[in-house]
Amino acid sequence: MKQHRQWPRFAIVLAVLALIATGCRDSGTTADVEDVDTGAAPAETTTPADTATDTPTETAADTATPTDTGSPTEGTTPAGDIAFDTGVTEEACPDAVNPDNGCIYLGTLSDLTVGPFAALAVPITDAQKAFWNRVNEDGGIGGFDVNVTEFVRDNQYNPEIHNQEYQAIKNDVLALAQTLGSPTTAAIIEDLNAEGIVAVPASWTSEWAFQDVILESGVNYCFESMNSIDWAVENLEGIETVMAVHYPGDYGGDAAAGARIAAEANGLEFTDVETAPGPDNQSGAISAVASQQPDLVILTTNPTDAGAVVGNTAAQGYQGTFIGTGPSWNKGLLTSPAAEAVQALYLASGPWTWTQESPGRDAMEEALGDVDPNDGYTSGWVWSYPLKAALEQAAENGDLTREGLLAAVSELDDVDYEGMLPDEAGNFVGDPNETAYRGSIVSEPNPEAIVGLDVLQDFFVGPTAEGYDFTQSCYTTTAG
């Protein structure tokens, strides 16, 4: 009886040993963790390189200061004479499009499985993969292909895990092609600043405009709500009361802050209703809307909850207008039980949408092929343009090191979005009050349209957003 239970025990012991072995295998770079409060130059550690690494193309990266171990010297490409170190290699990427090019590695830290934004994060990541694949097919940048698939990690929308995964891939990548979530990015922003690693966020919080290493694109939630209210006041009749129904945290809080500012500027009565995620937790919001009957509701939630609020309030006789921010929309709402209410009462605001025609949009459609259309794809695609421009600028300057990339970012005053954003949106140089892009769009639901939305009002900046003095992020100024 005891005999046949031996093998599972061996299996367990082997599993534990394998675990320990893989834990030790994951090394091979001389790295150090820096801290902002020392302000000192990076300290050099002389840890001897460990056993074989598991990523086939990983070379022993070295920092800019000379080391005394036998690590390779700074690399140069034979033809272009571009300096590079961390995250860039001379060998081609695995499954490279251009086998003669070197490889630039970009990291992705996204919520791919269990967190609340997985539904959007997967299309975003996919779109970025298609974007950089297109860049590679056009010949790469400065003699290098760009790889965003090797270092994709799941952060489960947890700042601790985000930090751990960031530490794990930090020394193998030049920059981050995506870091999803505000609390998660806040967990690594200190290190990003200290190491000078450029990162593209997958969110539109107003805080990012004030961080040099963050390459945000598109209007932030704060201005988006301001524009929505301004548009409604101008184009809809009888708007006198506004209610903001939003999630807690920076996503909802930023939008609500903008809504409050615009309501005050327009002389409207404003109510703030916070609601928790989950369609079963919307009864408070539904009751507030149905009983107070505001003329306009700015909705900042996710699609399921938006459907619950719109559908249930309409069922109770509410006839006002909902304007929902970008992530609150999903085409599935038009086949849900709330479809009728959504078509009658709902409008979507946003930084952009698939329906807008532009060369960039056509390129995106071609690159993505056959997918279920979703503005997550649009966002992932558009967010990648500044990083591409920065990489191209750095390659032109002959410096694809981290310092070189950061220097290139400080020269970015004219990013080409291929028509997906207006020209003035591409300026990253100078005071955020001058350069932050403030334009958003308003769309209405249409079951025939590609993501279910028809653009009602193309990029515009309302008077409130135009006149707003943008010196700090909206969410903390009116912190509640």
Residues 424-443 as x/- pattern, contact with another protein by CB under 8 A: --------------------
* 447 touches another protein by CB under 8 A: no
Strand-pair category, 346-350 with 321-324: parallel
CA distances from 86 to 63, 385, 435 (A): 7, 22, 30
What is the smallest separation between the CB atom of 229 and another protein, expressed in angstroms?
A: 22
For helices 159-169 and 182-195, the axis angle rounded to 10 degrees is: 30
Closest CA to 135 of 353, 354, 377, 381: 381
What is the smallest separation between the CB atom of 467 and another protein, expressed in angstroms?
A: 26
Which of 59, 89, 312, 328 is close enough to bind another protein by CB under 8 A? 312
What is the smallest separation between the CB atom of 140 and another protein, expressed in angstroms?
A: 19
Instruction: Please identify, using beta-carbon distances, which residue of 9 and 237 lies nearer to another protein.
Output: 9
Q: Is 439 helix (H, G, I), strand (E, B) or coil?
A: coil
Half-sphere exposure of 322 (CA within 13 A, CB side): 35
> Which listed range, 39-47, 72-80, 256-264, 419-427, lies at the site for another protein (CB under 8 A)?
39-47
What is the smallest separation between the CB atom of 231 and another protein, expressed in angstroms?
A: 26
What is the smallest separation between the CB atom of 353 and another protein, expressed in angstroms?
A: 16
Integer Cα distance of 216 and 174 in angstroms = 17
Sequence-separated (6 or more) residues with CB below 8 Å from residue 67:
30, 44, 46
Tokens found for residue 378: 């649009």
Q: How many CB atoms lie within 10 A of CB 359?
A: 12
> Which residues inside 200-239 make contact with another protein, applying CB under 8 A?
none
> Which residues inside 341-360 make contact with another protein, applying CB under 8 A?
341
Q: Is 391 helix (H, G, I), strand (E, B) or coil?
A: helix
> Which residues inside 376-415 make contact with another protein, applying CB under 8 A?
376
What is the smallest separation between the CB atom of 291 and another protein, expressed in angstroms?
A: 6
Rg (CA), the chain: 24
> Which residues inside 262-291 make contact with another protein, applying CB under 8 A?
273-281, 283-284, 286-288, 290-291
* 17 touches another protein by CB under 8 A: no
Integer Cα distance of 180 and 178 in angstroms = 6
Which residue intervals of 277-326 are DSSP H helices? 283-292, 303-315
> Which listed range, 40-48, 78-86, 237-245, 255-263, lies at the site for another protein (CB under 8 A)?
40-48
Instruction: Please identify, using beta-carbon distances, which residue of 144 and 318 lies nearer to another protein.
Output: 318
Instruction: Please identify, using beta-carbon distances, which residue of 179 and 312 lies nearer to another protein.
Output: 312
Integer Cα distance of 63 and 67 in angstroms = 8
Length of the chain as a residue count: 480
> Which residues inside 53-72 make contact with another protein, applying CB under 8 A?
54
* 13 touches another protein by CB under 8 A: yes
To the nearest 10°, report the CA torsion of 324, 328, 330, 333: -70
Instruction: Please identify, using beta-carbon distances, which residue of 91 and 340 lies nearer to another protein.
Output: 340
What is the smallest separation between the CB atom of 247 and another protein, expressed in angstroms?
A: 8
Closest CA to 220 of 327, 329, 378: 327
> Which listed range, 134-142, 297-305, 355-363, 416-424, lies at the site for another protein (CB under 8 A)?
297-305
* 332 touches another protein by CB under 8 A: yes
* 256 touches another protein by CB under 8 A: no
Number of residues that bind another protein (CB under 8 A): 115
* 134 touches another protein by CB under 8 A: no
Alpha carbon 460 to its chain centroid, in Å, reads 22
Q: Is 224 helix (H, G, I), strand (E, B) or coil?
A: helix
Residues 149-188 as x/- pattern, contact with another protein by CB under 8 A: x--x-x---xxxx-xx--xx-xx----------xx--xxx
Instruction: Please identify, using beta-carbon distances, which residue of 87 and 376 lies nearer to another protein.
Output: 376
Instruction: Please identify, using beta-carbon distances, which residue of 189 and 239 lies nearer to another protein.
Output: 189
* 300 touches another protein by CB under 8 A: no
* 311 touches another protein by CB under 8 A: yes
* 87 touches another protein by CB under 8 A: no
H or E segment to which residue 435 belongs: helix 432-435
Burial of 155 (0-12, 13-18, 19+ CB in 10 A): buried
* 119 touches another protein by CB under 8 A: yes
* 101 touches another protein by CB under 8 A: no
What is the smallest separation between the CB atom of 110 and another protein, expressed in angstroms?
A: 8
Integer Cα distance of 334 and 468 in angstroms = 35
Sequence-separated (6 or more) residues with CB below 8 Å from residue 283:
none
